[in-house]
Amino acid sequence: MTMTAHECFSRSVPEADRKFVEAAQYAGAHVESFAHPLTDPAGETLHTSVAWIGPRDATEVALYTSGTHGNEGWAGSAIQIDSLRRGAFSELPADRAVMLIHLVNPWGCAWGCRENEENQDLFRDFIYYRPEDRYDDSAYTQEMYEATTLRSYDDEEVDRSNREIGRLVQEMGLAELIGILRRGQWRYPDGLFFNAGGRSWSFRLYRDLVVRYLGHAPRVLGLDIHTAFGRYGEGLVYLENSDNEAKRRLLAEIYGEDRLFVGGSDPAIPAHAFFPYEIGRLFVPGLELVGTAVEFGTVDLDDPVGVMRYVNYLFNRGDPSNPERPDLLEQYARFVYPDEDDWREMVTARGREVVDQTLAGVSELRNHRLPSPVAAEPAKRTAVSDRP
């Protein structure tokens, strides 16, 4: 039974999880749900749920993830639900399976926050969790940290921050400032775009899922679903840097050259060494896991630094249950999820396209042997509680 584009979207994380589990069961999937230690604003339990369709010993797996950046998860959730409801995985080749991880960061999605419950940007946290993989983050200076970090939300503190941000913009330009901030840092735990080094609940869960589900699979193609970059409703496929020509050719063959966006060509989407979920190669020696993302365009923010600064303050030093600036939170919510039927329809249509391309594209990994961006290490099993 299919659902309309509007019906696949949800208003709360528990609603999204329920729809996902029901859709997965409808599709005949094996389903597991994992309870997050914290609740949503209404006090309801949060879950990350996993669906597996196909033989457990499949040699090719299409992996779909949503909610890595928490509040961007609404579109990814809807695309996953739609794919299950429309039977996108009903006729798999004998050696192929599908794995869907629904809302990797359910807390962030529930609370309207990009980061997780510990102010960690999971996208960057997954990539740089090992010290040896980290770049020099000294460009993210103490001055930048102080300028963008509010200790309170009174007029005097906001004016101070505005003056310091204004001085930085005058010195380097807004684009360079945003580019440095968005690349991330690991020295200021309460600062913007913090990478914590793989300590999060979501990281441990992903590591466990890779070991348990993908330990047998030589080839995996992963698609992570994001929003808030690009033209309204458009879905661009992300290549993390311009140096990986072999991966560029692979993604161009699967998704089309004209749909690729290369990290680093816009300050909002910096270049990275490899794609976050490719760290699965570390946990299963011999696993060939190639990851990419689709980025759906939304609407622009008038003051992106100001909005990011306020959200950072609210969830680190303020009271999310009693926000001083609900108008900024509404802007932020619209930035990641425009609540418009035309946007939902565009996202659903493009989502179907990239879901199907990913499923078909797994077989291309046989012809494109990409060098691993990370060296494997022994996997450690992590206990994660199931839903009662």
Span 205-236, pLDDT tens digits: 999 999 999 998 889 999 999 999 999 999 99
Q: Residue 360 is which amino acid?
A: A
> What is the percent of the chain with per-residue pLDDT over 70, rounded to a whole number?
95
**Are β-strands 219-232 and 235-239 bridged in parallel, bridged antiparallel, or unpaired?**
unpaired
- Spatial distance between the Cα atoms of 66 and 215, rounded to a whole number of angstroms: 21
Nearest to 271 by CA among 241, 243, 230: 241
Judge whether residue 15 has pLDDT over 70.
yes
Judge whether residue 144 has pLDDT over 70.
yes
Do the beta carbons of residue 61 and residue 99 sit within 8 Å?
yes
Confidence of residue 268 (pLDDT cuts 50, 70, 90): confident
Summary mean pLDDT of the chain = 93
Q: Which residues pair with 97 in a beta bridge?
A: 61
Residue 101 tokens read as 């991880």
pLDDT for res 131 = 86
Judge whether residue 288 has pLDDT over 70.
yes
Judge whether residue 373 has pLDDT over 80.
no
More confident residue, 198 or 46: 46
How large is the average pLDDT for residues 63-79? 99
Q: Cα angle at 83 between 80 and 86, to 5 degrees?
A: 145
pLDDT for res 386 = 38
Confidence of residue 195 (pLDDT cuts 50, 70, 90): confident
pLDDT for res 1 = 63
**Are β-strands 45-53 and 30-39 bridged in parallel, bridged antiparallel, or unpaired?**
antiparallel
Confidence of residue 375 (pLDDT cuts 50, 70, 90): low
Tell me, which fold does domain 5-129+195-298+337-366 have in CATH?
A: Aminopeptidase (3.40.630)
pLDDT for res 137 = 92
How large is the average pLDDT for residues 29-51? 98
Judge whether residue 145 has pLDDT over 60.
yes
Task: Provide the 3-class DSSP secondary structure of residue 266.
Answer: strand
pLDDT for res 129 = 86
> What is the percent of the chain with per-residue pLDDT over 90, rounded to a whole number?
82
Q: Which residues pair with 49 in a beta bridge?
A: 33, 102
- Spatial distance between the Cα atoms of 234 and 311, rounded to a whole number of angstroms: 26
Domain residue extents for the chain:
5-129+195-298+337-366
pLDDT tens track for 244-258: 999 999 999 999 999
- Spatial distance between the Cα atoms of 260 and 238, rounded to a whole number of angstroms: 6
Do the beta carbons of residue 20 and residue 77 sit within 8 Å?
yes
DSSP label of 256: -
First to last CA, the chain: 28
In our burial notation (b when 16+ CB lie closer than 10 A, e otherwise), range 79-115 reads: bbbbbbbbebbeebeebbbbbbbbbbbbbbbbbbbbb
Confidence of residue 374 (pLDDT cuts 50, 70, 90): low
Q: Cα angle at 204 between 355 and 62, to 5 degrees?
A: 20
Mind giving me the DSSP string for 156-182? HHHHHHHHHHHHHHHHH-HHHHHHHHH
Do the beta carbons of residue 318 and residue 52 sit within 8 Å?
no
Edge-to-edge strand order for the sheet containing 60-66?
30-39, 45-53, 96-102, 60-66, 219-232, 288-297, 235-239, 260-262
pLDDT for res 219 = 95
How large is the average pLDDT for residues 137-152? 96
pLDDT for res 378 = 44
| Alpha-carbon distances, residue 362 vs 80, 81, 179, 288 (angstroms) | 18, 21, 33, 11
How large is the average pLDDT for residues 367-386? 55
pLDDT tens track for 313-338: 999 999 999 999 999 999 999 999 99
| Alpha-carbon distances, residue 259 vs 290, 293, 361 (angstroms) | 18, 11, 15
pLDDT for res 379 = 43
Judge whether residue 202 has pLDDT over 50.
yes
Judge whether residue 383 has pLDDT over 70.
no
Q: Residue 317 is which amino acid?
A: R
pTM of the model: 0.94
Confidence of residue 352 (pLDDT cuts 50, 70, 90): very high
